[in-house]
Chains A and B, each alone.
Chain A
Amino acid sequence: MEVADVTKFLAETTPFDQLDAAALGQLSAHINVYYYQAQDSVKINTDRLLIVRTGIFTLYSDQQQLLTKLQNGDFYGYQQLLTSLTDSDTLLCEEDGLVYWLEAEAFHQCRYQYKNIDIFFQRLFSRRLHQYSEQQQASRFTLKISDVVQQRKIAIRPEQTAQDAAKLMSDSRVSSLLVEENSKLVGILTDRDLRSRVLAHALPASTQVSQVMTRQPQSIDRHAYLYEAVQQMSQHNIHHLPVTDQGLCCGMLTATDIIRSQQDHPVYLIGEIHRQQSTDGLERCSQQIAALAITLSKQQVPAYEAGHIITTITDALTQRLIYLAQQQLGEPPCVFSWLAFGSQARMDQSLNADQDNALLLEKDPVGVVGEYFSALAEFVCQGLAQCGITLCPGNIMATNPELRLSLKGWSGRFARWIATPTPEALLKASIFFDLRVIEGSKGLFNALQEDVLQRTTEAPLFLYHLAQAALQRTAPLGFFKNFILEQDGKHKKGLDLKKRGISLITDLVRVYALYAGIHEVNTRSRLQQLAAQGIIDSKDGQNLNDAFDLLAQLRWEKHQHDLQNSHDVTNLLNPAEVSGLARHQLKDSFAVINEAQNRVKHRFCREL
């Protein structure tokens, strides 16, 4: 016969909350209840599952390092039950409490009978944090080029004639051709080109393709997201994009392909942005971002993809503002690159991000050059602010003359940070080491990036200080009392998902990336590269990636919640509102971060 207090508790505890009353009753008949007093050590190798009912229990490694704290609804012993491997951990009662011991036989039976419970414990064990990732289907928002592009490649050689081209187009029923020489893409030819460049100029049908094709066309990787293609098409006002796979051309993406696959989509917003003729128009476009974010969330778009989409929209706004500024100010006096730092550079921008940008100039910013770019920066930054991307409180913006420098100026600045690092300076400067070009010259930007990465890979002292800065904050060990709760200006309390989670991972990964000279800026891409190059263990990389995704997901959901309730969008999560599963996952994520921080410490912070 069952004790109501026990079954009621089980019914409220993940994952047993999925069981019906009868199953809960059966389960509770296989439980023994024990009471621990503070300082008691728990016998953990008992081949039973420990379920904490009340009190707090602290888990230490065999080196007496504090691993985690268990409380109400937490489990221990599933490791041994699942793998039969004994643990050398010790579990100590910190605050008097009751535990339930569930017999191994009943635990296994429950797992065999209920797939979700099995999955829960397997995941808990393997630190796989995505309980639901498989359920997320490819939604329309996250289509990739490879999902929509025609799986055939229709190509012609440059020495063939316009007539050959016209015949090939008619036969294959396409409006454009790839022009290839020795399997290398050299141009594209569209039916419109035949009309406007051949017929309209009365050229003969024997004209060589190479004379009328568009040379060195834009192209896109087949693994890119579809909205990136739209972004590129809008920006350059083109309707055909060759698609490449590992550098080799594999097909053609047309505007029609995209329209066919899309109905309501951020691509339309991006397209609209590129058609605006004034900042006011862009402001109107940007007002749709919040609505779009809510739609994305309803479509269950994972947070990292949503961050990608939101960044792409910010990019589009920036690009259009630069275009509008040039309409007003005239052609720029020299080549330039508009740079983004921080989250925009990493492509994981959130809804409450502020501006972090700068200008990289071909010439020194003096005289006409100085005046022109000062005006351009003012126009773009104020425009972005009008579009809801707030001015940077730290003044990391192109409007700051300190951040409008020539290649030599920037290179010198990075060189100083790298050669004579101080921890305080690096805390502020670390944001500059995540940078990406948004508009303007890619070549200029590449030169700067090469220069910076060459320096960082050979600077152990710099990496030492950067690692120190990355280790200044730690993840909370659990949800206890108030000690993890931060206070914001309005006296709200909560767990700061960014400060105590996401940023910690970003910071750690940056240290490795700069050490290895990796060009990627996106945290997930950096992790992939680091694992691929064997800089970090691939399992550790996967764990960090999972933890990062989970924290980003929780922040994204929190922002959605704030938006829908018309609150200010903040990163503060109220632990009381965290569901059982998320709590387990959060705790695991924090453990992953702590382990990763330890590894960084061992690797980069040895005494020099």
Chain B
Amino acid sequence: MFGWLFRKNTALSEVVNHFINTPFPASSTPVEQANFLVLDLELTGLTPRKDHIVSIGWVPVRGQEIVLAEAKHYLINSPVSVGQSAVYHGLHDHQLKNAHDLAQILTELLSQYAGYIFVAHHSRLDEQCLRFACQRCFGKAPRFRFIDTMQMEWQRLLRQGKVVKHDALKLPNCLKRHGLPDMANHHALEDAYSSALLLLSQLKLGGNTMTLSDLYLLSR
């Protein structure tokens, strides 16, 4: 359905331009009016510059509701072997044979969710990977707005005067702390969904008056 985008090489960067030209909501927007896209990437390693995306999962949150109809999970063709990382995400090379082109998936992501605030658990890694991937596919990368559920959890615990232990910020432990069903299992969509649940709980804890700028502060 995005075939038109691939007709000319120049069209590819159009996607990025479209994303760049779509404004993000104002910082004063109440959080319940903002649109979020919670995503998770599984990678061949932890170094964004040289590692590759193996799979990507996402689910949008609109009006504080997770919209399962748009939940997506894609396996990505990788130029190198998944190697040892298979231990974590369970995806082996032979499974990736029917996978999608990275450019195709990034095109869907950028064209459908322009103007969305992106959310991930430990978002810095995901953000960098996305930017490198865009750079590789389109020759340029947009700026994303990212919210980090892990960072928000850390701030919350600090404010409560708690000593934050090693492991306390891992996704399964956060879910448990919030009394949410724990299904996090290094599957990109399941983890994105779990992070979305965590986000809903965190937004509620922030109260009725919370705006996006409060959220950016919390997630720094």
**Cα of A124 to Cα of B89 in the assembled complex, Å:** 43
- B193 A5 Cβ-Cβ under 8 A: yes
- A2 B71 Cβ-Cβ under 8 A: yes
Taking the nearest CB of chain B, how far is it from the CB of A525, in angstroms? 49
A369 adjacent to chain B (CB < 8 Å): no
B156 adjacent to chain A (CB < 8 Å): no
- B72 A5 Cβ-Cβ under 8 A: no
The interface bits of chain B over 188-201 (1 if a CB of A lies within 8 angstroms of the residue's CB, else 0) are 01100110110011
**Cα of A31 to Cα of B69 in the assembled complex, Å:** 7
Residues of B within 8 A of A101 (CB): 65
Taking the nearest CB of chain A, how far is it from the CB of B215, in angstroms? 16
Residues of B within 8 A of A54 (CB): 179-181
Closest to A53 in B: B181
B64 adjacent to chain A (CB < 8 Å): yes
Which of A32-40, A245-253, A420-428, A539-547 is the interface stretch?
A: A32-40
Partner of A35 from the list B72, B187, B194, B201 (CB cut-off 8 Å) is B201
B66 adjacent to chain A (CB < 8 Å): yes
The interface bits of chain B over 153-168 (1 if a CB of A lies within 8 angstroms of the residue's CB, else 0) are 0000000000000000
A22 adjacent to chain B (CB < 8 Å): no
Q: Which of B173-220 contact A (CB under 8 A)?
A: 179-181, 183, 187, 189-190, 193-194, 196-197, 200-201, 203-205
Closest to A5 in B: B183
**Cα of A35 to Cα of B204 in the assembled complex, Å:** 8
Closest to A101 in B: B65
**Cα of A53 to Cα of B203 in the assembled complex, Å:** 19
A98 adjacent to chain B (CB < 8 Å): yes
* Majority DSSP secondary structure for residues of A touching B: mixed
Taking the nearest CB of chain B, how far is it from the CB of A146, in angstroms? 55
A6 adjacent to chain B (CB < 8 Å): yes
**Cα of A32 to Cα of B67 in the assembled complex, Å:** 5
Q: Which of A1-25 contact B (CB under 8 A)?
A: 1-6, 9
Q: A4-B190, A54-B181 are in contact. Are A33 and B68 (CB under 8 A)?
A: yes
Taking the nearest CB of chain B, how far is it from the CB of A2, in angstroms? 7
**Cα of A96 to Cα of B196 in the assembled complex, Å:** 16
Residues of A within 8 A of B194 (CB): 5
A506 adjacent to chain B (CB < 8 Å): no
**Cα of A28 to Cα of B190 in the assembled complex, Å:** 14
B52 adjacent to chain A (CB < 8 Å): no
Q: A3-B193, A4-B183 are in contact. Are A32 and B65 (CB under 8 A)?
A: yes
Closest to B64 in A: A34
- B73 A33 Cβ-Cβ under 8 A: no
A292 adjacent to chain B (CB < 8 Å): no
B120 adjacent to chain A (CB < 8 Å): no
- B68 A32 Cβ-Cβ under 8 A: yes
Residues of A within 8 A of B72 (CB): 1
- B200 A35 Cβ-Cβ under 8 A: yes
Taking Cβ atoms with an 8 Å cutoff, the residues of B that contact A are: 59, 64-69, 71-73, 179-181, 183, 187, 189-190, 193-194, 196-197, 200-201, 203-205
Taking Cβ atoms with an 8 Å cutoff, the residues of A that contact B are: 1-6, 9, 28-37, 40, 53-54, 96, 98, 101
Can you pick out 19 interface pairs between chain A and chain B where the beta carbons lie within 8 Å of each other? Answer: A1-B71, A1-B72, A1-B73, A2-B71, A3-B189, A3-B190, A4-B187, A4-B190, A5-B194, A29-B69, A30-B69, A32-B65, A32-B66, A34-B65, A34-B66, A36-B204, A37-B204, A54-B180, A54-B181
Return the 6 tightest CB-CB contacts between A and B, nearest first: A35-B200, A33-B66, A5-B183, A32-B65, A37-B204, A3-B193
